[in-house]
Amino acid sequence: MLFTRRDFLKVTTVGTAGALSGLVPEGMALQTLQPVVEVGNPLEAYPSRDWEKVYRDQYRYDKTFTYICSPNDTHACRMRAFVRNNVVIRTEQAYDVHKYSDLFGNKATPHWNPRGCPKGFTLHRRTYGPYRLKYPLIRKGWKQWADDGFPELTKANKTKYKFDARGSDELLKASWDEVYTYMAKGMIHIAKNYSGKEGAQKLAQQGYPPEMIEAMHDAGTRTIKCRGGMGLLGVIGKYGMYRFSNMLAILDTHVRGVDAGHALGGRIWSNYTWHGDQAPGHPFVHGLQASDEDFNDLRFSKLHIQVGKNLVENKMPESHFFAELMERGARIVTITPEYSPPATKSDYWIPIRPATDTALFLGITKIMIDEKRYDADFVKQFTDLPLLVRSDNLMRLKAADVFPNYKNQDLSAGPSVKQHGLTQEQREKLGDYVVWDLKSKRLHVVTRDDVGQKLAAKQVDPALEGRFTVKTVDGKDIEVLPLFEMYKLHLKDYDLDSVHEITHAPKELIRKLAHDIATIKPVAIHIGEGINHWFHATEANRAFYLPLMLTGNIGKPGAGSHTWAGNYKAALFQGSPWTGPGFVGWVGEDPFNPNLDRNAAGKNIKVKKLTKDEEPAYWNHGDKPLIVDTPKYGRKVFTGQTHMPTPTKVMFFSNVNLINNAKWVYEMLKNVNPGVEMIISVDLEMTASVEYADFGLPANCWMEFQDLEITASCSNPFLQIWKGGMKPLYDTKDDGLILAELGSRIGELVGDKRFADYWQFIREKNAGVYIQRLLDSSTTTVGYKLNDIMAGKYGEPGAALMLFRTYPRIPFWEQIHDNVPFFTDTGRLNAYCDLPEVIEYGENFIVHREGPEASPYLPNVIVSSNPYVRPDDYGISQSAMHWDDRTVRNVKMSWSETKKTKNPLWEKGYHFFFLTPKSRHRVHSQWSSCDWNLIWDSNFGDPYRMDKRTPGVGEHQLHMNPQAAKDLGINDGDYVYVDANPADRPYIGWKPNDAFYRVSRCMVRVKYNPAYPYNAIMMKHAPFIATERSVKAHEKRPDGRALSEGTGYQANFRYGSQQSVTRNWHMPMHQTDTLFHKAKVLTAFIFGGEADNHALNTVPKETLVKVTKAEDGGLGGRGLWQPAKSGCTPNRENDFMKQYLAGATVKVKKGKGGGNA
Amino acid sequence: MLIRSDPALMEEIVFWEIKRREEQGDLQIFRTYHQLADAIYEEPSTIRREVEFAKLHEKFFRVMGFETLIAQVLSEFAPLAGKVAEVFVARAIRPQDEGADLSHFGNRIGIKIRAERFRDAESLKTFMRHEFYHVADMLDPTFGYEPNDVQQVSSPAEESLLRDRYKVLWNILIESRLRKAGKPTMAGREERFAEFEALYQKLPLTPRVAVFDVLWSAEQLTHRDLIEMASNTEYLLERTGTRLDQGGERPSEAAPLPGSKCPLCRFPSYTWGRVSDEITARRIQEDFHDWSPSYGVCVRCIEAYESQEQFIGR
């Protein structure tokens, strides 16, 4: 025990009062308190105070301007930049939202203020930082290939021109003129090379399946994939990439000699679903791409449930609404595997095994149904639960099945046709539905328009329970049941005990949540990538709706199930018959008849969509669809025709770190991209995507835009238009101008001015013409004049409110209040899906399935004993472990059988779930170059890089349960390897002595975090990956920095990345040709696939990993990481820290009144 | 030889000693201390006050006999007297911070000791004796200490092993000589053998014990001997006159050194495995002609060959 002088003083006082008094003269004690030296006002004598002015003036600025900070976090915050001596010295929140208004005088609530976050505050560091792309780049090998006349890319030539070794080639400085010519020539050559029968033959020889080649319809332009990511972040410049793809139809006329009526453009790659951002189950439930609200609505819930969502670390500018929710007395519940930041704010936290949320909500639904805690009227009027289902074929009973000579009822005057654009052909295909009417005791027809009060007006009281035998028109007796009755049977597998075993969630909390949902209103469920990044997200999304459907928590303030990730909502610029083409008028204007009248109204723009959307997920799967050789049926194609990809020969993308952020990135680099003949990356900074591209094109940042740009948001009602306020620092251009100039160059080479015409107003730096057309022709902006908006008529110049039905925007308001159908086949919220594929997959009911990889049990098993779940296993053995076999095999088992099964991968020690949420300090990979953000982003940030192993000033980390780490001999701060199934990761065919294996194996620091359960680890996603150049630098540079020579790319890893252990899974439920749902950007319906809407939603969390120690965490690889020795870190707490955590370091005396002193 | 001590260390020791004596009923020193200390509190200048307290504690440190203890131990190392001008005793907070070292120019010794060691004079002397022996060896030309000796290592783990072995061997050497001189040692035979054994697991038990026995009685080993014995097991055996096959046991097939590099992937590894079947071993040798199972291989590499066999049909 340490004795301090202060301790000793106490002892002295007690022991020697007399001694002290003997030594000290009386009155001395008081005198000792007098100041020793008299000091006057020092400032009076201070010689010079001029320096104070310099100090106060350090924040002086010459001018300011506002711009939109527009990364993919959805907020589009207007920031104010402060400029001095022509340098932006800082950026701040603009604090202006309370001034925003719309055409009708409605104003935004001041509660939106302030908007902006720490990422926005460091933008100027990126803008002026050392990683900017300063001029165009062309890969040396690619240039040589072009100069040699584009010889056939045989295996030998791929090596000669380094298509199989892009990462070790040189990137040469070039002028814009040069790169435009090379790129244009490249596109022309590739389009020619793969057109017609000869092109098809070449592709077949390269191993592409016939379905992909057929999907090209002989057009080589269909091998050109264009992606402006995330397009809504800049409708002109980013979504302009889709317009570019449409323009390629003109090229097709030159290549194939076809006319405009037969020409085809390129393919357009998605954004939302590619990132796994969509809730893929939403179109199954309500027919809409996604349900999300203005964040302003968040605060009106009284029961707020976050599932796999972190509204503390994400959506940061709107986090004050979450705080307001608490102030307004809402009950907050968080459901996550770990004790997450929202869990710390919650009334209760439900811990859960990853990817078992479906089971949890099925269990909750069972409790509510068993205890009759549901709003029967709402269920009958707005859900499919009263609709009859046939027990023989599991299809919904249609009126035509049982009423002879039935003719579908006329809906032409109703909302399905007049408001939603249902065509007659679609109407005939859908038919009408049947219920059992309790009043008349017979079958009664309901149409998709018979919802809400319209059903009530028909005096029909549909039964929810019962079994009925009916005769079909062909004389067969069949049993039919209301779906509700079938669910009662179905939910028997989800009793409380089973749900507890499946999910590991405490029974009392499951019951508590069921009762809270049943008794508190309004209820909102907020989900995120913590749900959507799993293979069976579809089921989870559908399951979350069940309790809300039972209680009517839809379409009302503070209610609903809402999904949050990126700024995907092109649908904000919705076209309609009464306004015009909207968004499609920009991306799909007829390239053969562009409107060159600068004053043309948006409604008059002719649309001719010659592109076809496609999921990059196919590229991510070896550039192949899902085709499996099944024992039962032989070769079976699971990818629907409406989804079918084409071979990828050109990748042209902007504003997205496509390669860096690709799941299974090293497989792409090693085995897939050598087959891609031209990769063009447009970006601000040097990224891994640029390092592995053939062309790197430098773009202006948001502050540098030379022409107008427009954006809006899925999470707020603000329309934002802006231009930059500073001149570009380098030889950079606006995204839109790059597209325009490249398009024009193609036109010059083929001698066709239509290419240039298509971009006329961009070339003239008058993007406002296209913006006005967009405003004119979108339902949410019709009536606005660009000049008024820029003059500040609606608030800050450039800002206005989108014209939503309500403020805040509430999904399905019209459905509930105006009795308008939902966007499903039934017009109701669907708990059931009777598509033939879905019945085959065993997912007609919402059912819990274990994942194809991330499970300790039989991969992909369906947990059910319901006789109305009849999956097809295609004859695939239960022991089959190939990833595609696991993907499509459908085996049904009760829970008691399931829990006896084992996943061989889990048994081999791959027993960590790998959670990869978004970091608060980056927006996906943006800001991975900014020093401050890197330092904030982990516990290992160190501007001095005292440990020379650190790749840069920041270093990525893996959160791990301390006991799990200890059991593996891993200390806090140690370096570890994170490895996944060696059969395919980090790439297929890897060998220990591959130089590329050294690049691709994930090595990262461990941080003990007791918030995580034993079998779950967490790494934030999308840091900058290790590349060949960065690994070489890390190993050769004396300072150990992972800073690539030649490109100046700064990796965040020493080796590998988070994408070393992820891969793509081709989820069958996402690839149907039959799902009926609303088209994204039109008031119309479609069957089957549409990118970002009903399409492959990638699932990076569907992985199991092993963690093993690599190096000691101490300096230079010796001993413990220094902070772990402090006694203040998890599992190494010293006595004081233990006392502190127990609250025992401060003793509080109770006062006389019983309260604390 | 001048002996100086860290004021914070002296203060802590003095306080403790006063408290100890007070608890035993001896209030004399308590009173004397306070008569002098209380006056210092009157000093208005905080800087001056600290200086005076430091002098006070130094005085008591000496009066209490602590400095004498240090001097007594130093006197046992006669060669130091001519070479070292000053010994500075500093305060260590944690056991791993304790130890003695020589200054850059070799004429000052620094020794870091935790204050609690001063509560047991004999234990303190044992500790200091052991530490000063290290310094004495460093100054002894026959020991041949070379601070700039650079060993080539292939990984931090290998460097750690080298350092740990060197440290243990040197400790054993010092304690051997201390025992011969009739002085107590920091650790007993069992404890030192456990340390030694943990670092030489590949040696079979009998030669391991035999090597240790020789070292435990060693008198004349040099710095170079220790380095070589730490980095080269064959030299260890040769220098101690031990045969690897003594006792008839085979060398342990213990896994390669934790943290050393896998011969296949060259990543440092702490998880080593055995190749259990010939097919896998053959497949590895197709790619790595010089590899033999006795070299070891990390678990990840084994899985790569097994899994590829299963899924890709290699």
A912-1065+1101-1116 under CATH 2.60.40.10, yes or no: no
Closest CA to A563 of A338, A709, A759, A357: A357
Considering Cα of A209, then A215, then A221, then A225, what sign does the dihedral take?
negative
- Contact yes or no for B303 and A982 at CB 8 A: yes
> Looking at the partner chain, which of B19, B34, B259 has a beta carbon nearest the beta carbon of A16?
B34
Contact status, residue A253 vs residue A595, Cβ threshold 8 Å: no
Residue A30's pLDDT is what? 46
The pair of structure tokens assigned to A129 is: 């930082």
Nearest CA in chain A to B116: A1
DSSP H/E element including A66: strand A63-69
Closest CA to A242 of A610, A493, A491: A610
Probe site for chain A from B119, B265, B280 (most A CB atoms < 10 A): B265
- Contact yes or no for A983 and B312 at CB 8 A: yes
The pair of structure tokens assigned to A895 is: 């829970």
Q: What is the mean pLDDT of chain B?
A: 87
Considering Cα of A24, then A30, then A31, then A35, what sign does the dihedral take?
positive
What is the dihedral angle through the alpha carbons of A352, A355, A361, A363, rounded to the nearest 10 degrees? Answer: -70
Confidence bin at B314 (pLDDT 50/70/90): very low
Side-chain-facing half-sphere of A966: CA atoms under 13 Å: 10
Contact status, residue A215 vs residue A222, Cβ threshold 8 Å: yes
SS3 A810: coil
Confidence bin at B41 (pLDDT 50/70/90): confident
Rounded CA-CA distance B63/A696 in Å is 78
Where on the phi/psi map is residue A803: left (φ > 0), alpha (ψ -120 to 50), or beta? beta
A1144 touches chain B (CB under 8 A): no
Where are any strands of DSSP class E within chain B? Answer: 2-5, 86-92, 99-102, 108-114, 272-273, 297-298
Rounded CA-CA distance A229/A923 in Å is 13
**Residue A924's CB: how many other CB atoms inside 10 A?**
23
Q: Which residues of chain A have pLDDT under 70?
A: 1-39, 45-47, 1151-1157
> Looking at the partner chain, which of B31, B270, B287 has a beta carbon nearest the beta carbon of A969?
B270
B314 touches chain A (CB under 8 A): no
Strand order in the sheet with A477-482: A388-390, A477-482, A468-471
Closest CA to A184 of A228, A233, A248: A248
Rounded CA-CA distance B44/A1146 in Å is 32
A-proximal residues of B, 131-170, CB under 8 Å? 155-157, 159-160
- Contact yes or no for A23 and B39 at CB 8 A: yes
Rounded CA-CA distance A755/A758 in Å is 5
Measure the N-to-C terminal CA separation of chain B; round to a whole number of Å: 74
Residues facing A132 on adjacent strands: A685
DSSP H/E element including A1: none
- Contact yes or no for A23 and B35 at CB 8 A: yes
- Number of helices (H), then strands (E), in chain A: 45, 36
**Residue A935's CB: how many other CB atoms inside 10 A?**
17
The pair of structure tokens assigned to B240 is: 């101690």
Nearest CA in chain A to B156: A1117
The pair of structure tokens assigned to B8 is: 């914070």
SS3 A1153: coil
- Contact yes or no for B267 and A16 at CB 8 A: no
Rounded CA-CA distance A326/A161 in Å is 60
Where are any strands of DSSP class E within A813-956? Answer: 862-863, 892-893, 912-915
Residue A1085's pLDDT is what? 97
B295 touches chain A (CB under 8 A): no
Instruction: State the smallest CA–CA distance between residue A972 and chain B in angstroms.
Output: 16
Instruction: State the smallest CA–CA distance between residue B261 and chain A in angstroms.
Output: 10
Supply the DSSP string of A1064-1115, one letter for each residue: ----GGG--S--EEE-SSBS-EEES-BTTTBS----TT--EEEEEEEE-SSG
- Contact yes or no for B31 and A16 at CB 8 A: yes
The angle at the Cα of A434, spanning A431 to A436, to the nearest 5 degrees, equals 175
- Contact yes or no for A992 and B301 at CB 8 A: yes
Residue A53's pLDDT is what? 83
Asked if the bond preceding A136 is cis, omega within 30° of 0, the reply is no
Helix axes A240-256, A735-750, angle to 10 degrees: 10
The pair of structure tokens assigned to A590 is: 């007829």
> Looking at the partner chain, which of B31, B39, B311 has a beta carbon nearest the beta carbon of A882?
B311
B179-206 per-position pLDDT tens digit:
999 999 999 999 899 889 888 877 888 8
A1109 touches chain B (CB under 8 A): yes
A140 touches chain B (CB under 8 A): no
Rounded CA-CA distance A344/A673 in Å is 44
Rounded CA-CA distance B6/B8 in Å is 5
Amino acid residing at B274: R
Provide φ and ψ at A336, rounded to 5°: -150, 155
B34 touches chain A (CB under 8 A): yes
**Burial grade of A413 (CB within 10 A; 0-12, 13-18, 19 or more):** exposed
SS3 A256: helix
| Residues of chain B neighbouring A977 (CB-CB closer than 8 A) | 267, 300
Closest CA to A668 of A730, A615, A617, A602: A617
| Residues of chain A neighbouring B312 (CB-CB closer than 8 A) | 983, 988-989
B304 touches chain A (CB under 8 A): yes
The domain locations on chain A are 174-275+570-655+699-801, 293-563, 912-1065+1101-1116, 1126-1157
Nearest CA in chain A to B43: A32
Probe site for chain B from A20, A32, A1111 (most B CB atoms < 10 A): A1111
B-proximal residues of A, 957-1016, CB under 8 Å? 969, 977, 979, 981-984, 988-993, 997-998, 1001, 1003
Does the pLDDT value for residue B250 go beyond 70? no
Nearest CA in chain B to A29: B42
Place of tokens 């107008």: A708
Residue B254's pLDDT is what? 54
| Residues of chain B neighbouring A979 (CB-CB closer than 8 A) | 300
Q: What is the mean pLDDT of chain A?
A: 94
pTM: 0.85
Residue A10's pLDDT is what? 26
Rounded CA-CA distance A554/A546 in Å is 11
Closest CA to A653 of A709, A686, A693: A693
What is the dihedral angle through the alpha carbons of B170, B172, B176, B178, rounded to the nearest 10 degrees? Answer: 70
B65 to each of B4, B16, B59, B71, B132, how far by Cα in Å? 14, 14, 10, 10, 19
Closest CA to B221 of B185, B175, B187: B175
- Contact yes or no for B310 and A1111 at CB 8 A: no
Probe site for chain B from A3, A998, A1118, A1125 (most B CB atoms < 10 A): A3
Rounded CA-CA distance B147/B138 in Å is 9
Supply the DSSP string of A103-164, one letter for each residue: TTS-B--GGG-----HHHHTHHHHHTSTTB--S-EEEHHHHHHHHTT-----HHHHHHTTTT
A471 touches chain B (CB under 8 A): no
A728-785 per-position pLDDT tens digit:
999 999 999 999 999 999 999 999 999 999 999 999 999 999 999 999 999 999 999 9
| Residues of chain B neighbouring A989 (CB-CB closer than 8 A) | 308, 312
B119 touches chain A (CB under 8 A): no
Where are any strands of DSSP class E within A975-1089? Answer: 975-979, 1002-1008, 1016-1018, 1076-1078, 1085-1087
- Contact yes or no for B311 and A1116 at CB 8 A: no
Contact status, residue B295 vs residue B272, Cβ threshold 8 Å: no
A27 touches chain B (CB under 8 A): no
Rounded CA-CA distance A487/A832 in Å is 9
Supply the DSSP string of A598-649, one letter for each residue: TT--GGG--B----EEE-HHHHTTTS---EEEETTTEEEE-S-GGG------
A-proximal residues of B, 234-293, CB under 8 Å? 259, 262, 264-271, 287-288
Q: Which CATH superfamily is domain A293-563 in?
A: Dimethylsulfoxide Reductase, domain 2 (3.40.228.10)
Nearest CA in chain A to B19: A3
- Contact yes or no for A1111 and B304 at CB 8 A: no
Residues facing A698 on adjacent strands: A683
Rounded CA-CA distance A551/B189 in Å is 76
Measure the N-to-C terminal CA separation of chain A; round to a whole number of Å: 29
The pair of structure tokens assigned to A179 is: 């790169």
Rounded CA-CA distance A343/A754 in Å is 57
Question: Taking residues B123-150, what's their average pLDDT?
Answer: 90
- Contact yes or no for A1118 and B287 at CB 8 A: no
Interface predicted TM-score of the whole assembly (ipTM), two decimals:
0.86
Compute the count of residue pairs across chains A and B with CB atoms less than 8 Å apart: 107
- Contact yes or no for B34 and A1119 at CB 8 A: no
Considering Cα of B152, then B153, then B159, then B164, what sign does the dihedral take?
negative
Residue B26's pLDDT is what? 87
| Residues of chain B neighbouring A15 (CB-CB closer than 8 A) | 30
Instruction: State the smallest CA–CA distance between residue A1054 and chain B in angstroms.
Output: 12
Rounded CA-CA distance A824/A1087 in Å is 11
